[in-house]
Amino acid sequence: MLSVHACPLAKLGGRDSGGMNVYVRELSRELASRGVEVDVFTRWREPGDPRIQELAPGARVIHVESGPIRYVPKAEVYARIEHFADEVERHIETEGRGYDLIHSHYWLSAVVTRQLAARWDLPTVQMFHTLGLVKREVMTEDTDGESDERTEIERRAVRESDALVAASEIEASELMELYGADPAKIRVVPCGVDVDAFRPVRQVDARETLGRDQCERLVLFVGRIEQIKGIDVLLEAMGDLFRRRPDLRHEVCLVVVGGALDPNDDAPELEKLEDLRRLVHEHRLEDNVDFIGSVDQRRLALWYDAADVCAVPSLTESFGLVALEAMASGTPVVATRVGGLQTVVVDGESGLLVPASDHQALAVAMERVLTDHRLRVHLAHGARDRAERFTWSRVGDGIEMLYDRILAARTHVEV
Ligand code: UDP
């Protein structure tokens, strides 16, 4: 498994760490439990991490030293990508372990995959998690220097990989329409959720544990603090909500989980926080909005339980684990009708869907869920029911079948 910039052991919700880290972690564990041994090669980012760490019996994380052992922006990771690939090669040669297949995550890993696959003649599976061309369509901020080079690398990986994993039918269409992918190469495998770790717990108990019993109605946002997550749209929507329903101003709070907001963090995002605080001020939301920074996943489960609604206002989303985790916790989701969210959330059954970037529609949907008790209960049940279908074991089934198919095709050719 190659996951150059997303370490499966990383602290989540900060800079450049979120769903992909979770996916690589859970998939590796799942595969290992089925006897498919996995080594995840990832950039060494945390000074305290050992070079090699066991993720589960049969699954290891191998930290590759490439550049300084701390956060560096993706452009810098890319600048050293050949060095990273050489280091992985060196490690593999020294250890003398043979691999059957490379599963590559994100465009950065595709570069490394190409080098290693050529060197050892290995079949490759590529998953992008986000596609440069899709992101470019919705973003005005160019946070990662989303370059033409990225698009080229993605196109080449689409052409050369033995298989492509898409998290939703929508991502599969994007791969075909924007990148000209061969439909026969694409396998749609939706992501999963641990339905035991994320499960409904009595709201009062969760709030008490979190010390949040003073808030009557709680809206939750969870995610990296990036434009793509639509957090500014959500703040605008809160402003709209209170203009529509001034009585709710004294009842509704928004808790924003995510972001490296502690000045002692590896790469604090204090400037971004300042921008958001300006928006809070503009809409007079000081008493309603709390930015609490990133939270460990085990504690995050309590936040989903404490919330009345989880807002997922992303501008684009290849899948949207946060929506699924909220649903597994029995918390209705108000999400945008984009990417994988459209397949995860069933409008009117497990949450409500609204157009992206439409703060007014978002405000109306939040108002409905927050004020209509029957609707909330209906959506809460629907949410849990739907989430139970998305397990990591299912993801493991899909991926293992894909590996088998690719390896069988190879054997066939060799014979
Ligand atoms: N997450 C977390 N703590 C945080 C913020 C996020 O553990 O403070 C996790 C969250 O549980 C989810 C992932 O990060 O599993 C975010 O995944 P998602 O697919 O929603 O977004 P992505 O990061 O892939 O854009």
Residue closest via CA to ligand 1's atom 7 equals 297
The CATH number of domain 203-387, selected from 3.40.50.2000, 1.10.1070.11, 3.30.2130.30, 3.90.1520.10: 3.40.50.2000
From 171, 224, 321, 329, mutation site for ligand 1 pocket: most ligand atoms within 8 A of C-beta:
321
What is the best residue among 17, 256, 297, 344 to mutate for testing ligand 1's pocket, by most ligand atoms within 8 Å of CB?
Answer: 297
DSSP 212-251: -TT-SEEEEEES-SSGGGTHHHHHHHHHHHHHH-GGGGGT
Q: What fold does the segment set 19-192+392-414 form as a domain?
A: Rossmann fold (3.40.50)
140 has pLDDT over 80? no
Q: 406 CA distance to ligand 1 centroid (A)?
A: 30
Q: 337 C-alpha vs ligand 1 centroid, how far in Å?
A: 19
Q: How far is the CA of 321 from the centre of ligand 1 (A)?
A: 6
pLDDT, one tens digit per residue, over 95-131 is 999 999 999 999 999 999 999 999 999 999 999 999 9
> Using one digit for the tens of pLDDT, what is the confidence trace for 324-348?
999 999 999 999 999 999 999 999 9
142: confidence class by pLDDT, cuts 50, 70, 90:
low
Asked whether 125 and 165 are in contact (CB, 8 A), the reply is yes
Q: Which atom of ligand 1 is nearest to the CA of 17?
A: 23
pLDDT for the residue numbered 146:
61
Per-residue model confidence as pLDDT tens digits over 235-290: 999 999 999 999 999 999 999 999 988 887 878 888 888 999 999 999 999 999 99
SS3 percent helix, strand, coil of the chain, rounded to 5, is 50, 15, 35
Ligand 1 centroid distance, CA of 192 (Å): 13
pTM of this structure: 0.96
Sequence-ordered list of residues with C-beta below 8 angstroms from that of 161, at least 6 positions apart, any chain = 104, 110, 113, 124, 125, 126, 185
Contact 390, 358 (CB under 8 A): no
Ligand 1: list residues with CB < 6 Å.
12-13, 18-20, 22, 222-224, 257-258, 294-295, 297, 300, 319-322, 325
Task: Determine the distance separating the centroid of ligand 1 and the alpha carbon of 21, expressed in angstroms.
Answer: 9
**What is the rounded CA–CA span in Å between residue 408 and residue 401?**
10
3-state class (DSSP) for residue 3: coil
Task: Quote the tokens at residue 178.
Answer: 């924007």
Rounded to whole angstroms, the Cα distance separating 285 from 308 reads: 19
Closest residue CA from atom 23 of ligand 1:
18
Residue nearest to atom 21 of ligand 1 (CA): 19
171 closest CA partner among 188, 184, 157, 183: 188
Q: Where are the domains of the chain?
A: 19-192+392-414, 203-387
Ligand 1 centroid to residue 323 C-alpha, Å? 10
- Measured by CA distance, the residue closest to atom 24 of ligand 1 is 19
Identical topology for domains 19-192+392-414 and 203-387: yes
pLDDT tens track for 46-75 = 999 999 999 999 999 999 999 999 999 999
CA distances to 302, 310, 335, 348 from 372, in Å: 23, 15, 17, 13
